Structure formats: structure tokens, C-alpha cells
């Protein structure tokens, strides 16, 4: 079993980018609870054994303790709600209300994205927002006490 114990620091773009040995697609939740997690891949089982508080992002590279195998993390498309508004202020208001509920939230200039939740969807509908159910990668912003 391959055991990945450390995340490589982001490097400056190189003319020869690092080619990972394996790729692992994870949902937003899986990327946030990566401390000790086993995955069974067609190539065999692997274990993420990372320091407490590690948040994985799309494109992160992990390495085994021996340094002989590299794994690239990808954001797996998953069911999401994509919220759009007719004005930036309406979108900000929606972000405010979702933030009050401590919802993992992807924030962009044109839309908000969150995991499906019928109660939150009803609230957003009552605010007059356009909501689309989609399958897309979810990239919630980290909490205030985590680095970007």
C-alpha cells in the first residue's frame, strides 16, 4: 500500500512540470478530511496520512515518505447548487446568509456554489436568486484561520 505523508510546496512554473505517478479525484469534503483516509484504486490501495488540518486543493502534489511516488489531487465533479443573482449586491447578500449558516461555499464574482441542501435552496429561492443544480467541481474557500 502506498502511504502519502506530505504535501509538496507549490513550485514556480517550470519548463518541465512534475509528472505525477498517480492521480486521485476527491470531492470537496474528501479534500477537507484528508488527514487519515484510505482509497482503493484499480492500481491498488493508497492511504493519505497527512498532518492535522491539511486542506487539499485541486492540483496539489503529495509524496510518499520515501519520496519515490507522487500523487496529484484533482477536484472531482459532484452535485452542486450554482447560485446567480441579477446584481452584485444580491449575490453578496446570499453569501452573507450562507456564511451565517457556516456553509462551505465557493465564492466567485458571478456566482456562488455549494453542496445541495433543500432548506438552503428554498431560502435562496425566497431571496429571488437563480439556482441551477449541476455536476461540477466544488472549490469552497478555506476558513478564516486556514491559509489560501
pLDDT digits (tens, 9 = 90+) for 62-120: 999 888 899 999 999 999 999 999 999 999 999 999 999 999 999 999 999 999 999 99
Written as nine digits, the cell of 77 is 465533479
Structure confidence at residue 12 (pLDDT): 52
Q: What is the pLDDT of residue 9?
A: 76
Task: Return the pLDDT at 55.
Answer: 87
Q: Residue 48 and residue 61: Cα distance in Å, rounded?
A: 12
pLDDT tens for 6-31 read 888 765 555 556 789 899 999 999 99
Classify the phi-psi angles of 121: left when phi > 0, otherwise alpha if psi is within -120 to 50, otherwise beta. alpha
Query: Which residues have C-beta within 8 Å of that of residue 118, sequence separation ≥ 6?
Result: none
41-69: per-residue pLDDT in tens?
888 899 999 988 888 999 999 999 888 89
Number of H helices, E strands in the chain: 3, 10
Domains of the chain are 2-75 (2.60.260.20), 78-136 (3.30.70.790)
Lowest average pLDDT, out of 31-35, 36-40, 113-117, goes to 31-35
Evaluate whether 115 touches 81 at the Cβ level (below 8 Å). Answer: yes
Q: What's the pLDDT at 43?
A: 83
Amino acid at each position: 500500500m502506498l502511504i502519502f505523508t506530505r504535501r509538496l510546496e507549490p513550485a514556480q512554473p517550470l519548463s518541465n512540470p512534475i509528472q505525477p505517478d498517480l492521480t486521485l479525484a476527491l470531492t470537496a469534503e474528501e479534500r477537507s478530511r484528508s488527514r487519515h483516509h484510505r482509497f482503493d484504486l484499480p492500481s491498488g490501495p493508497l492511504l493519505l496520512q497527512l498532518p492535522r488540518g491539511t486542506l487539499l486543493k485541486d492540483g496539489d502534489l503529495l509524496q510518499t515518505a520515501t519520496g519515490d511516488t507522487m500523487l496529484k489531487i484533482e477536484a472531482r465533479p459532484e452535485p452542486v447548487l450554482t447560485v446567480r443573482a441579477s446584481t452584485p449586491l444580491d449575490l453578496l447578500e446570499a453569501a452573507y446568509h450562507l456564511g451565517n449558516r457556516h456553509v462551505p461555499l465557493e465564492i466567485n464574482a458571478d456566482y456562488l456554489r455549494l453542496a445541495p441542501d433543500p432548506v438552503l435552496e428554498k431560502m435562496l429561492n425566497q431571496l429571488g436568486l437563480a439556482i441551477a443544480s449541476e455536476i461540477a467541481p466544488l472549490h469552497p474557500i478555506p476558513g478564516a484561520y486556514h491559509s489560501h
